[in-house]
Chains A and B, each alone.
Chain A
């Protein structure tokens, strides 16, 4: 039986880690001080690369390698911490931001030092008003203690940190849309290449990292890359905060070693509500396809989930029992993506809207037999032909459940009228 291993979440619920003094009693900011005193920035990059820490926001790209893409052309570099968490089912960054803001600040500072950035940003989802205020107060404490500003920790390294609040747009979690939003533009994704590492914020080399990714940096420095690599699997190393919600007894964030099975994660979250049976799990946030009851022994890590036909994504697990109405569940997600489409690409803008309308017709008992085929054919027409992954995210959940639970969709559709002989 696998267990919870609190690393990032250590002390949450027990200590008031919003206070810098409490955070420091837990060894907080010691790794930032050590890095500035003992390590060259290249050493931090090397350690991160060696740990194979993969981006925890959704794409899972190795962090150290992402940093190495930055060109050495003397231009200023920027680090942007992505806290625009809005993927359905995901609530880990929300908790980390509010409960351990200093850990996030330390991670941002270490990441900035590693890439030679002197002005970092954190983009906080507009709805996290309370989180923004908590983080702002924590930054003020860190500034007063000399961890942000000119010559931090007595070194000659300067770092500014600017908080930027979003205003209600899921798409701004996509890194190029986020940069546009940070530049005061509509949150519309940019065409890639050029990638942000080459032309990002203000057309300068930029790294965008997730909150959780950056929060692991102090721990990797403290315990060494080997410690991080020793847990998890060969290509999915380390720990991961998994947001578990849905029909489980104790929904919440649980930090586990990657490679823990889905079945174990359900047990960790208190098992199924009212002892019901788990029929499906969406393992990687709203963008991922479902996996089903016979696949519950799949390890929760990047490769295995991809092989199982889904993805790890943001690491948000929504668990469904046999009472679930999958037509309504699919409708909720399709409506979400239709609502959040920025409108630049036709397949995403129109496709999402029409899938929503079709599902609404079915839900109201006005569906046609042909609607099932229309919904099934959506994947060929929506996926892989948009500027950003949002368009590709509309269909996976719907596509997986309509094949598995076709009966549920059909039961909503009126019986076809008997043909009258002519």
Chain B
């Protein structure tokens, strides 16, 4: 299971009992299609609805039911952004960064969310309540800037609406039901794509939505893995880039010395 951390290797729920309960429904889904494999996405949706994310058990169970290998199932699941391969917050806040929202006031809305939540794109708050993601066009361009809260639309966003929404969710009075949460989420649910990483040449490219942040962190993440050192924490963007450059320079000199 490339890229899936240890924390997700076991489900926190009583999976056999869950499966026993869902089995008739899952079999009915499979029977809708001429070929069982077609039921893969619906099955994953159903398991995620119960567990809050797509667990390893869910993937191997689907593989067994559909006559596939777990690797094939994961290769499909990892293609789709609405399947979470690691636990997420109880409220998934997905703000639209599509064209019509960007030429409206999406930038201010996104900056406001980041500030109020204290987290960035693809991150979860420490209390496990909120996950935050900036997503592509949600097809509600007439009501920009828009977002989805657990896939329910919220339109014409203003900072005041955001304050009210976050307060209501914290108070448990928000009209949208929370997602299932069977395991405590980590800081991010994003699984790094080790097999298809972006080119390291883009490191140090700034994030236009997060002044002082870094848009493409893949180069630095590679450096983190290689040096076993935390490069992303507690450093300003400039500091991180200059530290990385210094490290590379030293390392090259050492090599020359040999």
Q: Which residues does A use to contact B, with CB under 8 Å?
A: 85-91, 93-94, 119, 125-130, 162, 164-170, 181-188, 202, 243-247, 251-253, 282, 286, 316, 318, 320, 324-325, 328-329, 331-333, 335-336, 339-340, 342-343, 350, 353-354, 357, 360-361, 363-364, 366
A116 to chain B, nearest CB (A): 16
Q: Which of A166, A169, A316, A366 touches B206 (beta carbons < 8 Å)? A: A366
**A169 contacts which chain B residues (CB < 8 A)?**
79-81
User: B205, A361: Cβ atoms under 8 Å?
Assistant: yes
Distance between Cα atoms of A169 and B151 in the complex (Å): 15
Taking CB atoms, residues of chain A closer than 8 Å to B215 are 357, 360
**B103 contacts A91, C-beta separation under 8 Å:** no
Asked if residues B152 and A360 are in contact (CB atoms below 8 Å), the reply is: no
Say which size band chain B's interface belongs to.
35 or more
Residue B86 CB within 8 A of the other chain: no
> Which residues of B from 53 to 103 have beta carbons under 8 Å from A?
66, 75-76, 79-83, 97-100, 102-103
* Residue in A closest to B98 when the chains form the complex, CB atoms: A88
| A336 contacts B206, C-beta separation under 8 Å | no
Residues in chain A near residue B139, CB distance under 8 A? 85-86, 90-91, 93-94, 125, 127-128
Q: Which residues of A contact B40 (CB under 8 A)?
A: 184
Q: Which residues of B contact A162 (CB under 8 A)?
A: 32-33
Query: What are the residues of chain B within 8 A of A282 when measuring CB–CB?
Result: 99
Closest chain A residue to B144, Cβ basis: A245
**Min C-beta distance of A226 to chain B, whole Å:** 33
Q: How far is the CA of A366 from the CA of B80 in the complex (A)?
A: 33
**B28 to A: closest C-beta gap in Å:** 12
Q: How far is the CA of A94 from the CA of B216 in the complex (A)?
A: 32
Docked-complex contact A329 and B141, CB < 8 angstroms = no
**Quick check: A353 and B202 within 8 Å, CB to CB?**
yes
Which segment of B41-49, B181-189, B227-235 sits at the interface? B41-49
A88 in contact with B137 (CB, 8 Å):
yes
Bound Cα distance A71, B210 (Å): 54
Contact of B208 among A316, A343, A360 (CB under 8 A): A360
Answer whether residue B207 sits at the interface, using C-beta atoms and an 8 A cutoff.
yes
B103 CB contacts on chain A under 8 angstroms: 246-247, 318, 320, 324-325, 328-329, 332
Chain B residues at the A interface, C-beta cutoff of 8 Å: 32-35, 37-42, 44-45, 66, 75-76, 79-83, 97-100, 102-103, 107, 136-144, 148, 151-153, 196, 198-199, 202, 205-208, 215-216
Residues of A within 8 A of B151 (CB): 127, 129-130
Given contacts A127-B138, A184-B66, 17 further A-B contacts (CB under 8 A): A89-B99, A91-B140, A119-B34, A129-B152, A130-B151, A162-B33, A164-B38, A166-B82, A182-B38, A183-B35, A184-B37, A202-B35, A243-B141, A246-B141, A251-B141, A251-B143, A332-B103
Task: Tell me the complex Cα distance, A339–B215, Å.
Answer: 13
Contact between A130 and B153, CB atoms less than 8 A apart:
yes
Instruction: Select which of A94, A184, A336 is within 8 A of B98 by beta carbon.
Output: A336
Contact of B100 with A88 in the complex, beta carbons under 8 Å: yes
Cβ of B41 and Cβ of A316 under 8 Å apart? no
Contact across chains for A331 and B82 when beta carbons are under 8 A apart: no
Chain A hits for B140, CB < 8 A: 91, 94
> When chains A and B are docked, how far (Å) is the Cα of A329 from the Cα of B137?
13
- With a cutoff of 8 Å between Cβ atoms, the chain A residues found around residue B42 in the complex are 164-165
Q: Is the CB of A333 within 8 A of B148?
A: no
Given contacts A129-B152, A336-B136, A353-B202, contact A89 B100 (CB under 8 A): yes
| CB-based contact A86/B137 at 8 Å | yes
**Given A89-B99, A202-B34, A328-B102, do A164 and B41 touch, yes or no (CB 8 Å)?**
yes
Tell me whether A187 and B80 are in contact (CB under 8 A): yes
Contact between chains at B76 and A332 (CB < 8 Å): no
Which residues on A sit within 8 Å (CB–CB) of B34?
A: 119, 202
A357 to B97, CA, bound (A): 17
CB distance from B258 to the nearest CB of A (A): 34
Q: Min CB distance, A413 to chain B, in Å?
A: 14
